[in-house]
Structure 1
Amino acid sequence: MRWCLPAGLALALAGCGQVADISGAVAGGGAALVSSNPAVGYAVGISVRAAVSAGVDEVMKRRQQAEQDALASVIGGLEPGEVRPWQIRHAIPIGNQQGEVRLVRRLDNALAECREAAFSVAEDNTSAAPRQWFLTTACRQQAGWKRAAAEPATARWGALQ
């Protein structure tokens, strides 16, 4: 039981990329100790790591989709040359972002109403660093405006993303 506290602290301090590895190691080690069989510990550790990794990936994908949707909804309400602020506030306030978005041009055609926009991203308004600008395209869909990119906005690709 002495290893529970250091393992818990390591898990709490680790970034999202380490959570799956640490969880798998702790679960595998515990299973090996309880069963006295290293093969069982290895199997449990690999299984837990895979499950936690899939969960973290899903959460990160949903957070990224929310960011893209927030940006696309602002783009949908702009006229060419117009500038507006955009922001995303997550339920867990880590990675909240904001910036400005400027509509560059409309890309309307017979298939879809689309807009090309330049946007900036800043993690906080106190940053003195110069803003970097990025270019993106958003198109109107039945559910509203969505970012027009193959990844990760295209849900139909499933495991191929």
Structure 2
Amino acid sequence: MRRLGLLGLAALGGCAQLPDVTGAVAGGGAALASSNPALGFAIGISVRAGVSAGLQVVMRRRQQAEQDAIAAAIGAPVPAAEGLPGAWAVRHGIPLGNREGEVRLVRVIDSALAECREALFRVQGEGQWFLTTACRQGEGWKWAAAEPATTRWGSLQ
């Protein structure tokens, strides 16, 4: 299992280079096929931009799944009493970056506008706790923290 985790980290590290590599290959191939370096450059830049945008969509969906799992755990009946531990877990379609951890309810914020809960959460294997807020949305719970705040917990970004 540990080898699969190391392989996953290596594969995710390669994701950052994927747009550059595909753009270079597509641009180089187009330039060779057409004998026009300007056309190759334009195609390379376009392919790089497309692959980069596609990766951003995939990573954002994965991040949203992780946030939804944490919010669901915060809204679950188990951590309804302050301080009681609850568990969260997310399993992605591609089993790289699956995460699990613990949540602890800090306080309930009940107003006429929304029912929210503030909780501490952490990722299993990491010692640091993070504070977030989840609010009821329809029948479920959704992440309510502002997005720029997520850069401070890089493993779930």
The alpha-carbon deviation at position 149 of structure 1 amounts to 2.1
The alpha-carbon deviation at position 14 of structure 1 amounts to 5.9
**83-92 or 48-57: which moved more?**
83-92
- Provide the rounded CA distance (Å) in 1 between the counterparts of 2:13 and 2:22: 11
Aligned match of 1:43: 42
Aligned match of 1:142: 138
- Provide the rounded CA distance (Å) in 1 between the counterparts of 2:94 and 2:147: 23
- Provide the rounded CA distance (Å) in 2 between the counterparts of 1:33 and 1:86: 51
- Provide the rounded CA distance (Å) in 1 between the counterparts of 2:13 and 2:117: 40
The alpha-carbon deviation at position 131 of structure 1 amounts to 1.3
- Provide the rounded CA distance (Å) in 2 between the counterparts of 1:84 and 1:151: 23
Aligned match of 1:26: 25
The alpha-carbon deviation at position 110 of structure 1 amounts to 1.0
Cα pair distance change 1:13/1:36, threshold 3 Å? farther
Which residue identity is paired with 2:128?
Q
Cα pair distance change 1:121/1:14, threshold 3 Å? closer
- Provide the rounded CA distance (Å) in 1 between the counterparts of 2:139 and 2:34: 51
Matched, 1:65 2:64: yes
The DSSP-based 3-state class of the residue aligned with 2:145 is coil
**Considering only aligned residues, what root-mean-square deviation do their CA atoms show, in Å?**
1.7
The DSSP-based 3-state class of the residue aligned with 2:118 is strand
**137-146 or 37-46: which moved more?**
137-146
Task: State the identity %.
Answer: 67
Deviations 1:31-59 (A, max 9, x none): 00000000000000000000000000000
Deviations 1:89-115 (A, max 9, x none): 111111111111000110111110000
Cα pair distance change 1:14/1:64, threshold 3 Å? closer
Aligned match of 1:155: none
Unaligned runs of 5+ in 1: 1-11, 153-161
Deviations 1:71-95 (A, max 9, x none): 1001001212221121111111111
Aligned match of 1:9: none
The alpha-carbon deviation at position 150 of structure 1 amounts to 2.9
Aligned match of 1:116: 118
| Mapping 1:71-86, distance limit 5 Å | 71-77=70-76, 78-79=79-80, 80-86=82-88
- TM-score normalised over the length of structure 2: 0.81
- Provide the rounded CA distance (Å) in 2 between the counterparts of 1:133 and 1:94: 22
- Provide the rounded CA distance (Å) in 2 between the counterparts of 1:46 and 1:54: 12
